[in-house]
A and B are shown apart, each in its own frame.
Chain A
Amino acid sequence: MSKPEKLIADGIRLDGRKPDELRPIKIKVGVLNRADGSCYFEFGGNKVIAAVYGPREVHPRHMQKSTSAVVRYRYNMASFSVEERKRPGPDRRSIEVSKVSREALEPVIFQEYFPRSAIDIFVEILQADAGTRTAGINAASIALADAGIPMKSLVSACAVGKVDDTLVLDLNKDEDNYGQADMPIAMTPDGNITLLQMDGHLSRDEFREGLEMAKKGCTAIYEMQKSALMEKYSSQIEGDNSE
Chain B
Amino acid sequence: MSNEIIAELRKDYIYNLMIKGEREDGRTFNQYREITIDTNVIDKAEGSARVKIGDTHVVVGVKIQPGTPFPDTPDQGVIITNLELIPLASPVFEAGPPREDAIELARVTDRGVRESGALDLSKLCITPGEKVWMVFIDVHVLDDGGNIMDASALGAIAALMTAKLPASRFGLGDDSVVPLRDVPVSVTAVEIGGSIMLDPSMDEESIAGTKLTVTSNQAGELSAMQKSGVHPLTTEQINYIVDIAIEKAKEIREKFLVI
Chain A positions within 8 Å of B, measured between CB atoms, are: 92-93, 95-96, 98-100, 103, 106-107, 183, 188, 191-204, 207-208, 211-212, 215
Contacts and interface: CB of A to CB of B under 8 A. Distances in A.
Contacts of B239: 208, 211
Contacts of A92: 103, 106-107
A103 B100 CA distance: 12
Nearest to B107: A96
Interface residues of B, number: 34
Sort A-B residue pairs by CB-CB distance and give the 8 closest, nearest first.
Answer: A192-B232, A198-B225, A196-B227, A99-B100, A106-B230, A199-B115, A202-B222, A194-B232
B28 to A, nearest CB: 23
Contact of A95 (B103, B111, B220, B238): B103
A207 to B, nearest CB: 6
The residue in B114, B224, B234 that gathers the most chain A C-beta atoms within 10 A of its C-beta is B224
A194 B209 CA distance: 11
A226 to B, nearest CB: 19
B227 A107 contact: no
Nearest to B111: A199
Contacts of B234: 191-193
Contacts of B222: 198, 201-204, 207
B243 interface: yes
A202 B136 CA distance: 27
A199 to B, nearest CB: 4
B103 A103 contact: no
A199 B235 CA distance: 18
Contacts of A196: 212, 225-227, 233, 238
A93 B242 CA distance: 25
B106 A211 contact: no
A115 to B, nearest CB: 14
A196 B238 CA distance: 9
B225 A193 contact: no
Contacts of B238: 193, 196, 211
Given A96-B100, A201-B222, A103 B229 contact: yes
A204 B224 CA distance: 12
A193 B227 contact: yes
Interface string B159-181: 00000000000000000000000
A193 B221 contact: no
B223 interface: yes
A198 B239 CA distance: 14
A132 to B, nearest CB: 16
Interface in B104-131: 104, 106-107, 111, 114-117
B215 to A, nearest CB: 9
Nearest to A202: B222
B100 A98 contact: yes
Contacts of B100: 95-96, 98-99
A200 B115 contact: yes
B233 A192 contact: yes
Nearest to B237: A193
Given A98-B100, A202-B221, A204-B221, 14 more contacts: A92-B107, A95-B103, A96-B103, A99-B100, A193-B234, A196-B238, A198-B222, A199-B115, A200-B115, A200-B223, A201-B117, A204-B220, A208-B239, A211-B235
